[in-house]
Amino acid sequence: MERTFSIIKPDAVQRNLIGAILQRLENNGLTVVAAKMLHLSAQQAEEFYAEHKGRDFYEPLVNYMISGPIIVQVLQGENAIAKNREVMGVTDPSKAAQGTIRADYALSVRENSVHGSDSPESAAREIAFFFTDNEICGRNA
Ligand code: DAT
Ligand code: MG
Per-domain boundaries in the chain: 2-131
Task: Give the per-residue pLDDT at 71.
Answer: 98
In ligand 1, which atom is closest to the CA atom of 88? 3
Please tell me whether residue 9 adopts helix, strand or coil conformation: coil
Is residue 107 within 6 Å of ligand 1 at its C-beta?
no
Q: How far is CA 133 from the centre of its chain?
A: 19
pLDDT tens for residues 67-82? Answer: 999 999 999 999 999 9
pLDDT tens for residues 100-137? Answer: 999 999 999 999 999 999 999 999 999 999 999 999 99
**pLDDT: which is higher, 50 or 140:** 50
In the residue annotation, 115 being an active-site residue is answered as yes
ipTM: 0.98
Which CATH superfamily, name and number, covers 2-131? Nucleoside diphosphate kinase-like domain (3.30.70.141)
Residue 34 has pLDDT above 80, yes or no: yes
Task: Give the per-residue pLDDT at 138.
Answer: 75
Q: What is the pTM of this model?
A: 0.97
Please tell me whether residue 4 adopts helix, strand or coil conformation: strand
Is residue 110 within 6 Å of ligand 1 at its C-beta?
yes
Please tell me whether residue 76 adopts helix, strand or coil conformation: strand
Q: How far apart are CA 33 and CA 74, in angstroms?
A: 6
Phi-psi region of 8 (alpha: psi -120 to 50; beta: other; left: phi over 0): beta
Alpha helix positions (H), 30-132 = 42-48, 58-65, 80-88, 101-105, 120-130
List the binding residues for ATP. Answer: 9, 57, 85, 91, 102, 112
